[in-house]
Structure 1
Amino acid sequence: MEGTDATNRPTRHRQACQAARIADDYRSRDVVVLDLTGITPIVDYFVVATGTSRRQMQAVADEISRVFKEDGDARLGIEGYGNDSSWILIDFGDIVVHMQDEAARALYDLDRLWADAPRVDWQIATADTSADT
């Protein structure tokens, strides 16, 4: 699946920031949104967060999936949820959420791997969205 067309980018940007806000609300650490538009045609945004426990990472995955489904965006896939994995990946097509424990975050270092990607200031973006409602 290729990245979204220009008309859907504001929606995807908002959703990526919303996923980051959920991860933060559930006490994830080091929450980052990477804007991959223009870097890869595969995905528009990565949301990367460090989970503090397996149960917490699953709760974040559940809540993000629930909110996206309510918005009409069911996930395309999920990996690492039901086993003893240190990484849960949720694929929404143009947005991919990575919930990793501290060791996996350090080992795979997605932030460094995608260092060319601009970081989205999701805290400002979600504050702007909530002010509009």
Structure 2
Amino acid sequence: MEKQELLKLTVKAADDKRAENIVALDMQGISLIADYFIICHGNSDKQVQAIAREIREKALEKGYQVNRIEGFEEARWVLIDLGDVVAHVFHREERIYYNLERLWGDAPRVDVLSELNS
């Protein structure tokens, strides 16, 4: 259940900073990297950094380990490795260009946002 809690915490942190089009993918059995991918985007460098910072801070507050953060300074594609969950926080243009949702199109989507908002 810890994976599910980390997933919810990550999505909520991104949502709290007004991340757009948050998608959670169940990567279990598809990728060895993580059990879940979170994909979202911001509309400015500052917003991308704010989203990434919020995810990191909320995870640390709850005692989760943040293994690595890549791309924070450039704020075009920030990858936050939380072990079972990897968050991809894009700038809008990079998200369109890399289109991870299509790349991992065989991964089932997890509807975490509706759970959080109910």
Same structural fold, with TM-score higher than 0.5 when normalized by the shorter chain: yes
Partner residue, 1:62: 53
Q: Does 1:110 align with 2:77?
A: no
User: How far off is 1:27 after superposition?
Assistant: 1.2
Residues 73-122 of structure 1: per-residue CA shift (max 9 Å, x gap): 1211111112x341111111111110101111111100001111111111
Partner of 1:48 in structure 2? 39
Contiguous gaps of at least 5 residues in structure 1: 1-9, 129-133
| 1:127 CA displacement | 4.5
CA contact (8 A) 1:48 1:98 kept: yes
Where do 4+ consecutive residues of structure 1 move more than 3 Å? none
Superposition deviation, residue 46 in structure 1:
0.5
Between Structure 1 and Structure 2, the one with more strand by share is 2
SS at match of 2:32: coil
- 8 Å Cα contact 2:17/2:54 also seen in 1: no
1:19 aligned residue: 10
5+ residue gaps, structure 2, are none
Task: Calculate the TM-score normalised by the size of structure 2.
Answer: 0.91
Computing the radius of gyration over CA atoms, which structure comes out larger, 1 or 2?
1
CA RMSD across the alignment: 1.4
Deviation at 1:18, TM superposition (A): 2.0
Distance 1:124 1:14, change over 3 A: farther
TM-score scaled by length of structure 1: 0.82
